[in-house]
Amino acid sequence: MRVFVDDVRVLRFDDGSPVTAASGLAPLGAGWLIAQDDATSVAWDRGGRVTALRVLPPVEGHDRFSEAAGTKRLKPDLEAACPAGVDGEPAVLLLGSGSSDRRMRGVLVRLESGHPVVHVGDLGPLYHRVAERLDLPVDQLNLEGASRHGGTLRWFNRGNLAAGVHSGSVAVPLPDLVDVVLGRAPAASVPVGEPQLHDLGEVDGVGLAVTDAIALPDGRVLLCAAAEDTPNAIDDGPVVAAALVLVDGERVLDVAPVPEVDGRVHKIEGLALRGSYAGRVDLRAVVDADDPAAPSVELDLRVDLG
């Protein structure tokens, strides 16, 4: 497998302000919804026009969060974005990382007559069940990625080998999850499948850990992974490498580095499929720079699956 970076673009809103901490993306209507893990809003990119869409209320009066401002503990930390559906119509499901009560919410964005409508649901009991399935304390949850496989969502926890935690995933029925966010069912009613563990290896002594995932048409899964030197699920650290990993269930089929751009490692936190061909996929990716003042970038990736 080989990865090529065909284009790099800086993400800014129409008013010139930066899209920051991009952590997931999924198609919505004629555009793309981009999660920001440091904000109560997401970015909606429609053909180069990028507008902010509020998806959560302010937290103690704040809509943006950072370590420098002393507000990082307050952030809802929306990390995963996955295509979904509501009554046959397309939607996007956004999910928090789960490492605290504030991060255990689901947000569903759907279109009604072309206009986005937002629903928010508390998923606390489900997150606790996922932690139990993954045999983790709840405060070590860091659910950063989600891939859709028909009616099933596979939810990926970002591991940390320094803390003895491998990347892992569980499967949940996507319609059941959507019903909870819409208020049609309790969070405790969602079944959680048996876990899979994903040993992705390491780079320069730092373990690769999953940051997002997409399902390929043939049923395999392509993960993006970062080797980030951090002791826990909360703090940022230096990223020594980024890679794409092809897996089939728990089995790792191939690992390929993501090329550096201008000498920088790009920590990809969101992946979406743009096209699939014989032996090749084209991807759109978004990068979290871990810098509240720096705009995120998006990449066009071409992957030769070999």
Q: Average pLDDT for residues 64-88, to the nearest whole number?
A: 92
DSSP labels, 96-152:
E--SSGGG-EEEEEEEETTEEEEEEEE-HHHHHHHHHHTT--GGG--EEEEEEETTE
Whole-angstrom Cα distance, residue 231 to residue 295?
25
CATH number of the domain that residue 20 is part of: 2.115.10.20
- pLDDT band, very low/low/confident/very high, at 164 (cuts 50, 70, 90): confident
Q: Average pLDDT for residues 151-166, to the nearest whole number?
A: 90
Closest CA to 165 of 120, 210, 114, 113: 210
Quick one: pLDDT at residue 293?
A: 81
Whole-angstrom Cα distance, residue 251 to residue 296?
32
Quick one: pLDDT at residue 235?
A: 67
- pLDDT band, very low/low/confident/very high, at 205 (cuts 50, 70, 90): confident
Q: Average pLDDT for residues 210-217, to the nearest whole number?
A: 96
**Structural domain containing residue 215:** 2-304
Residue where the block lists tokens 């980030």: 228
Q: Any bridge partners for residue 166, and if so which?
A: none
Residue where the block lists tokens 């009604």: 112
Number of domains observed in the structure of the chain:
1
Quick one: pLDDT at residue 26?
A: 97
Q: What is the pLDDT of residues 146-156, one digit of tens each?
A: 999 999 999 99
Q: What is the pLDDT of residues 214-272, one digit of tens each?
A: 999 999 999 999 998 876 656 677 888 999 999 999 999 999 999 998 888 899 999 99
Quick one: pLDDT at residue 234?
A: 62
Q: What is the pLDDT of residues 286-304, one digit of tens each?
A: 998 878 788 999 999 999 9
Q: Average pLDDT for residues 76-103, to the nearest whole number?
A: 94
Is this model's pTM higher than 0.85 or not? yes
Burial class of residue 205 (count of CB atoms within 10 Å of its CB; 0-12, 13-18, 19+): exposed
Q: What is the pLDDT of residues 6-19, one digit of tens each?
A: 999 999 999 999 99
- pLDDT band, very low/low/confident/very high, at 195 (cuts 50, 70, 90): very high
Quick one: pLDDT at residue 49?
A: 93
- pLDDT band, very low/low/confident/very high, at 193 (cuts 50, 70, 90): very high
